[in-house]
Amino acid sequence: MIDSSKQEQYKERYKTKATPWDTGRPDFNLVEMVEKRPIEKCQALEVGCGSGQNAIWLAQRGFLVTGVDVSEIALQKASENAAKNNVTCTFLLLDFFEKDVPGLPFHFIFDRGCFHSYDSDAERKKFAERAASHLVEAGLWFAIIGSTDEPPGAPGPPRRSARDIVTAVEPFFEILSLKSSHFESNRPNPPKAWACLMKKR
């Protein structure tokens, strides 16, 4: 699991509203993937759902969505946002790395910035294994991952190389696409990212 100090830091940032990743809108990478691939309406899981904008967007398009997070404040905001948008999502306080999500298996998992939070190859491999265990056969996982193409020292999320991703996921997933992108952001220069779509082996 993410060590307790990182979890507390994450929770504290929600308390102090120091959450640059919380843009108030769904990530454009998710929107493009769902609309252009397309990904059909299904039972979906968002890992690290935050204030729920991506889960809500999926629910508005007919997905049956469960969102999990380790921050109670984030989940409270997510529930409030879902109510404001008149959609139904299930939001759960849960550490995905350690506990199974009720309602599995899912057909689609979305992860914006959780996989890259793990520093070691072994942890990222375990995260990929956890994702696979929550999916139906040939289920899809779409992850937005901080990229090492970002200049050293620039602010932003943890950075992983394409090799880091492949090493972790290939035992459990076929990589369908891995493209250079950037995070949905309110910054003038959004952090660079990998947009990675995978199918469970």
The angle subtended at Cα 119 by Cα 74 and Cα 7, nearest 5°, is 25
What structural domains does the chain harbor?
A: 4-8+23-200 (3.40.50.150)
Ranges 23-27, 104-108, 176-180, 184-188: which has the least confidence: 184-188
Q: What is the per-residue pLDDT for 156?
A: 84
Give percent of the chain with pLDDT exceeding 90. 82
pTM of the complete model:
0.92
Q: What is the per-residue pLDDT for 64?
A: 98
**pLDDT at residue 10 tops 70:** no
Q: What is the per-residue pLDDT for 18?
A: 58
User: Strands 135-146, 90-93: parallel, antiparallel or unpaired by DSSP?
Assistant: unpaired
Spatial separation of the C-alpha atoms in residues 49 and 113, rounded to whole Å = 10
Q: What is the per-residue pLDDT for 151?
A: 79
